[in-house]
Amino acid sequence: MSDEVVKLGSKKKSRFMDEVMQLLPEGGNLNLCLTCGACSSGCPATGLAGMDPRKFLRMAALGLDDEILKSDWPWMCTMCQRCIYVCPMKIDIPQLIYNVRGSRPRDERPKGILGSCDMALRNDSCSAMGASPEDFTFVVEDVLEEYQEAQPDFKDMQAPIDKKGAYFFLNQNSREPVTEPDELVPLWKILHLVGADWTYGSKGWAGENYCMFLADNENWEHITRTAAKQADDLGCKIFLNTE
């Protein structure tokens, strides 16, 4: 519970509520809350920063936008959507969280998330760890060659980049190529054994999208479109998420 007594204005409108209601089908059902608390009782973020999902929604409904904006809680909610899953009215609180995140000036959002988003915008890899298409290609080729030589059963194993017409377009979390390249190999081995026709893209290969977590609409769309376009340009049939 907060220490301060909350004072309600008489005619104050909530910008967050209105924005999200316009955005979502049925207005995200934001006005249908039964205040039952199912969301809060099963939310791992309940109690952090003196907040919980029900309280957050009530504050928005009451037009306490300024108080909401001051809270760090929107960055402690992971938008996992379990609150929607358990809600009898299927109220979309995570979309409210997302819009509140996006309402902070961009340079005042958490530095780590901001930095990872900006890193992804440095080149066409869209990697939150900043690895360029050249870095990625080098690591993949280098690791592949090493394993082809060292493990005779896998001398014909492939890890293609930009293979035209491949059936699967794979993404890859940056963690493996950047910090633990040997961990790339088990996935390649499985794909080799089943005879999968697959490729990475030199552009948009990175699986993570911190601009989305930053609630930076323009840039998360840019990252997603870069990956999707590369898959389309190569003529791939299935975009396969490897996480």
Partner 1 sequence: MKNIYEYYAKWIREGKLKVNSDWNKDLKIKFTVQDPCQIVRKSFGDPIAEDLRFVVKTVVGEENFIDMHPNRSNNYCCGGGGGFLQSGYKEARLQYGRLKDSQIQATGADYCIAGCHNCHAQIHELSEHYGGGYGVVHLWTIICLALGILGENEREYLREDLKEIAVYGA
Where in 90-129 is the site for partner 1 (CB under 8 A)? 110-113, 115-116
Instruction: Write out the DSSP string of 138-159.
Output: HHHHHHHHHHHHH-GGGTT---
Q: Which of 203, 199, 221 is nearest to 212 (CA)?
A: 221
Contact between 226 and partner 1 by CB under 8 A: the answer reads no
Size of the site for partner 1 (CB under 8 A): 53
Query: For the window 56-95, what string marks contact with partner 1 as x by the rule CB under 8 A?
Result: ----------------x--xxxxxxxx--xx---------
At closest approach, how far in Å is the CB of 151 from partner 1?
6
Contact between 217 and partner 1 by CB under 8 A: the answer reads no
Query: For the window 148-187, what string marks contact with partner 1 as x by the rule CB under 8 A?
Result: --xx-xx------------------x-x----x-xx-xxx
At closest approach, how far in Å is the CB of 11 from partner 1?
34
Where in 5-44 is the site for partner 1 (CB under 8 A)? 42, 44
Residues 6+ apart with CB under 8 A from 86: 38, 39, 42
Query: Beta-carbon neighbour count of residue 80 at 10 Å?
Result: 12
Contact yes or no for 115/106 (Cβ under 8 A):
no
Burial code of 2-37, b = ≥16 C-beta within 10 A, e = fewer?
eeeeeeeeeeeebbbbebbbeeeeebbbbeebeeee
Q: Which of 163, 162, 151, 237 is nearest to 189 (CA)?
A: 151
Q: Which residues bind partner 1 (CB under 8 A)?
A: 42, 44-45, 47-49, 72, 75-82, 85-86, 110-113, 115-116, 147, 150-151, 153-154, 173, 175, 180, 182-183, 185-187, 189-190, 193-196, 207-208, 210, 213-214, 238-243
